[in-house]
Structure 1
């Protein structure tokens, strides 16, 4: 079965003129690779970009990259063009941006891949858009019709119902990410939890682990593995306990927190990439937002010698006994009160992790 059934049909019905013209195969990939390597473009506009050589009547389209190196295509259009047909998804951002070209403001359709696994597909999409423009199609029509043909790029995978604990855990991490974003918009770069790393947030040798409970009076948290409460070598570790309670129409949900982070200015691509790693392809999907919560409290602990935990040094030889491959346990934070940080102390620690 072809990857893009609709597009395959279109290819078979290509006109003779389309079939004869040489394809720009791999040119977008090479251009984006060069932009990532140098971090600069030709300096014509404010973002790293290179002229594609394809004119739209309002300027030439440009290969560009996003803040995290995402492949991007900028297509100049008339300032009077209607952009109602442009629609973004968690995999593809389709918006408009204005940049100065030769001192004059120019409006561009700004298309960017948000799922790096689909970069090769995005390259084909960019190539197809430019081909349609070369054929004489109006820029806005070239973009919308090419995206329509690449349905797979926009298709959201169907997902089974998400467990209550997974929703609660993600809400807790997004809540802490929002707190960290108050210090720096680069905090999203420290969000390592989605990528199956040891701790939920890490900046250099400083790490933060988030535990979220669904009751206001909860004191017990579950720990997974002997590494989870071990600080990075030569660094520090914080354990943050977020307490929430389930509430109909509560102000804390995956979708609401996502929207608030984007509104604060967090890089949407980085945020979506982290969510996708957790199988949250659409932060507004019903399965991820069937639960909402109210905030009940927050405690932050410095995990240091004497903190109630099991780590490698708890065992002879510094590792699990032979034949034991994993370990899970619970910590009663009522026994960790000497390690609890004041708001002033964890303000400094949060600022350091946020970047």
Structure 2
């Protein structure tokens, strides 16, 4: 719902040599963004909104291809940073208090209508920290005016990383598993730059990639013999309801010079992705931290074999629904097992069917 505003207060409108005017005219190598924000918010606080549907808004001296960033104060006196976005652009979900609130908001002025990513601080005692975060957003947005919301996401993730416990670099098996998943993700992103949303494994989903009735599970092996894979749980090889599941299996060889580096592959994925911040969040959830880049610098793999399978009734697996249908009661948990597909059947899919599976996943409604 659009919010009708009085004419936004613009710091510097009044005559004379105000602090705002001096900051606005500053051409320092690094703008004092904290001071800029404090001037705008302090002046907005002198005129509180008249009701709960109004904000007091002040354009900031950071212009972008989508409009000016702005400071705002709401009825409760909470501070907001407004970052312009396209009218149909979605705003990243998940940040909903109790300290920070991020949502999509459309504001209507006398002669203007603008949609924003609205970041609000819901605790006045943390205003100083919020100012520091917003100052970093302004600095980054000024350097990259074509996509200001990307600057917002990047800084939110950078600040969040300050409070995340570091678990150390991934082990060899984890590295190979991530490499295989990123290999599939690259192919999806080459088709759709927003396909990072389909990478659901890092968020705890039972399948590595999923959308609607389509899913893909990815497995890797560093062994030079056989085709074995470890399955975790009775639902990992269960297709979505009334849907399909493909299993991608990669045999990887660790190399010292040839092949593709794990860091190189992660950076390629980030370049292909339309929301790099969201992608790096998923990488972090998968255990890959940029702080460990040096530990991964010499990690390189060659894909020596790749097979895709349709996980259908003939594919070897243990699935909860199948056991229940056979009248076998399930009273166990934490089930892990190994399947061996060294010999055929099952018959792997050809390249066309593999590409069809990738395309269906992208086209499937979330």
TM-score grouping bracket, smaller chain normalisation: 0.5 to 0.7
Residues 288 and 197 (structure 1), Cα distance of their counterparts in 2 relative to 1, 3 Å cut: farther
Structure 1 position 51, deviation (Å): 4.8
| 2:268 match | 260
1:287 counterpart = 2:305: no
Q: Tell me the alpha carbon deviations over residues 102-154 of structure 1, each in whole angstroms, 9 at most, x when there is no partner.
A: xxxxxxxxxx99xxxxxx9985335456999xxxxxx88xxxxxx99xx9667
Structure-to-structure mapping, 1:80-99, within 5 angstroms:
none
| 1:298 match | 306
Residues 325 and 157 (structure 1), Cα distance of their counterparts in 2 relative to 1, 3 Å cut: closer
How far apart in 2 are the matches of 1:231 and 1:336? 21
Residues 272 and 224 (structure 1), Cα distance of their counterparts in 2 relative to 1, 3 Å cut: same
Q: RMSD in angstroms over aligned alpha carbons?
A: 4.3
Structure 1 position 328, deviation (Å): 1.0
What secondary structure sits across from 1:221 in the alignment? strand
Q: Tell me the alpha carbon deviations over residues 279-318 of structure 1, each in whole angstroms, 9 at most, x when there is no partner.
A: 3231762234452211212110000011111111342467
How far apart in 1 are the matches of 2:136 and 2:180? 41
What secondary structure sits across from 2:194 in the alignment? helix
1:52 pairs, out of 61, 64, 70, with 70
1:69 counterpart = 2:77: no
Structure-to-structure mapping, 1:140-289, within 5 angstroms:
155=162, 158-282=166-290, 285-289=293-297
| 2:131 match | 124
Decide whether the 8 Å contact of 2:253 with 2:303 is kept in 1.
yes
Structure 1 position 321, deviation (Å): 4.3
What secondary structure sits across from 2:287 in the alignment? coil
How far apart in 2 are the matches of 1:187 and 1:286? 28
- Of the two, which has the highest radius of gyration? 2
How far apart in 1 are the matches of 2:242 and 2:166? 43
Residues 62 and 325 (structure 1), Cα distance of their counterparts in 2 relative to 1, 3 Å cut: closer
Residues 300 and 266 (structure 1), Cα distance of their counterparts in 2 relative to 1, 3 Å cut: farther
Residues 122 and 241 (structure 1), Cα distance of their counterparts in 2 relative to 1, 3 Å cut: farther
Structure 1 position 238, deviation (Å): 0.1
Q: Tell me the alpha carbon deviations over residues 147-203 of structure 1, each in whole angstroms, 9 at most, x when there is no partner.
A: 99xx96674854424211111111110011112222222221110010110100012
| 1:337 match | 345
Decide whether the 8 Å contact of 1:212 with 1:242 is kept in 2.
yes
Residues 179 and 308 (structure 1), Cα distance of their counterparts in 2 relative to 1, 3 Å cut: same
What secondary structure sits across from 1:182 in the alignment? helix
